[in-house]
Amino acid sequence: MKAAAVMQATDQVKEGLNDISEKVKDFSDNVNERWKDTRDDLQRRARKIRTATENKMEEARHRIKTKPLTAVSAAAGGAFLLGIVIGWATTRRRRGFFR
């Protein structure tokens, strides 16, 4: 009787381990599929971003070549404006810090 009970318990443990093993395998397959889909989606988005960036760079090159004076004046104006903003921000910090 005891041997039969031990054999029955052993069989139940084996079945339980097989069930757990199948569930882990299914979970692993599911995670693997989702990872692959996510990776493919990110690669597609990266290609779209790269294409859009290349198109905008080509457009900017064309604008600079056709209107070089406008491009230089825009860059100078942007640099001047950035200098004003940075100068204003640093002097404002100094006044507040030393008071």
Enumerate the domain spans of the chain: 1-66, 68-99
Q: What are phi and psi of 67, to 5 degrees?
A: -135, 75
| pLDDT tens per residue, range 48-71 | 999 999 999 999 999 999 999 999
pLDDT score of 83? 96
Q: Enter the tokens of residue 11.
A: 């069989």
pLDDT score of 86? 94
Give dist(CA 69, CA 46) in Å, integer.
Answer: 34
Query: Does the predicted model carry a pTM greater than 0.95?
Result: no
Q: What is the DSSP letter of 65?
A: H
The percent of residues in the chain predicted with pLDDT above 90, rounded, is: 57
Considering Cα of 30, then 33, then 39, then 43, what sign does the dihedral take?
A: negative
